[in-house]
Amino acid sequence: MTVSVRAYSTSGVTQTPLTFVRYSVPHEGHTYYSDDPNEDTILLDRKRGLAAVFDGVGSGPGQVASRLAARVMRRTWKKLHTEPCIVPFSSFPRLEEMILHLFDAAHQQIILEGERRAQSMQEYTRYPATTAALTLFSYDEDAHIYYMSYAHVGDSRIYLWRPDHGLKRLTDDDGYLALKISDGSITPEDALRIDQASNISELSRLEKSYFDNRNGITQALGHEKSMDVHIGHIDVQPGDRVLLCSDGIHDNLTDKTLALLLEKEKRTTAARKIVQQAIASSHQNVAENMRAKSDDMSAVVITCTTIS
């Protein structure tokens, strides 16, 4: 799906510099036992400049959590920002508070849903939980500049690709490699090298064990009573591309491959091409590509064109 967004404007001038493209394909193995098997959920509020990717944790409850998170955040955002336009820059100081409110609202509803399910089943049940990666745009009409606020919990990621600067990951996973950094087992440079490896020959035996466990996450919406939402802000320049994706994408594709796809593909097809490339990688023999992993695959690509 491709969507162009009109900037907030009091002058009545129409501008459409932001294009949102999304694509999502469920795990191929899930299609045999469910009519709607995708545990990833994509949220786009094109008028209000909001995009998010959710990756449910575990089969069944994960789908419940990702869809509930998207529904709650969409509803809450419309209440916080009632105007059908991108947030004006005058509201920028409040954006962090608003983002935290979105995450907390979804978190609390998922916890309540988990408790309801546990009571109704009267037996052990896996509580629903989901990762979340979110971007929110604001516009400074005087300076003709877009700003992007972003936030995440878990291991769904947000990347920025900028012409002549390449790809930059804006988020750090709440995951196993982060734990190994914090306990001093590896350095951040080691973690990046392990995360980007494609062949077993690139890693020691111990590093290979870290690689195999890198999908373990330390927090998610609905996972614990409290959570730490990571928030950042960045200006968005003409030519920039922002990628939000679930781990099915970055588990299968290296940053180098993602950078090439974001550079070469058209803005209307970039998300689909990224997902298709990740699916192709997941079909490879793990002896040739140890990144190969079947999973739900979801990507949102936001492209900023020239602002007149």
Measured CA to CA, the distance from residue 254 to residue 256 in angstroms comes to 5
Residue scoring higher pLDDT (105 or 91): 105
Determine the pLDDT at residue 28: 78
Q: Which two tokens stand for residue 257?
A: 């491959």
Determine the pLDDT at residue 109: 97
- Average pLDDT for 3-16: 36
Whole-prediction pTM value? 0.91
- At 258, which helix (H) or strand (E)? helix 255-264
Give 98's contacts (C-beta < 8 A, 6+ positions apart).
77, 80, 81, 136
Local confidence band at 123 (pLDDT 50, 70, 90 cut-offs): low
Question: What top-level class would CATH report for the domain 2-165+220-304?
Answer: alpha beta
- Average pLDDT for 100-121: 92
Which residues are registered as beta bridge partners of 140?
145
Determine the pLDDT at residue 1: 38
Determine the pLDDT at residue 31: 52
Determine the pLDDT at residue 91: 85
- The DSSP line for 119-156 is HHHTS--PPP-EEEEEEEEEEETTTTEEEEEEEEESS-
Nearest to 241 by CA among 266, 277, 273: 266
DSSP state of 45: E
Q: Are 255 and 243 in contact (CB under 8 A)?
A: no
Determine the pLDDT at residue 143: 87
The total of other beta-carbon atoms located within 10 Å of residue 46's CB is 18
- Average pLDDT for 9-17: 43
Residue 15: what are its φ and ψ, rounded to 5°? -130, 135
Question: pLDDT of 183-223, one tens digit each?
Answer: 999 999 999 999 999 999 999 999 999 999 999 999 999 98
Least confident range from 26-30, 67-71, 207-211: namely 26-30
Give 188's contacts (C-beta < 8 A, 6+ positions apart).
181
Residue 157: what are its φ and ψ, rounded to 5°? -115, 160
Determine the pLDDT at residue 272: 98
Determine the pLDDT at residue 2: 37
Q: Which residues of 252-277 are buried (b: 16+ CB within 10 A; e: fewer)?
A: bbebebbbebbeebebeebbbbbbbb
Give 62's contacts (C-beta < 8 A, 6+ positions apart).
39, 55, 56, 128, 129, 130
Question: pLDDT of 243-291, one tens digit each?
Answer: 999 999 999 999 999 999 999 999 999 999 999 999 999 999 998 899 9
Determine the pLDDT at residue 34: 54
Domain spans of the chain, in order of start: 2-165+220-304, 175-216
Residue identified by tokens 């990833």 is 40
Determine the pLDDT at residue 16: 52
- At 43, which helix (H) or strand (E)? strand 40-45
Determine the pLDDT at residue 120: 82
Measured CA to CA, the distance from residue 207 to residue 296 in angstroms comes to 26
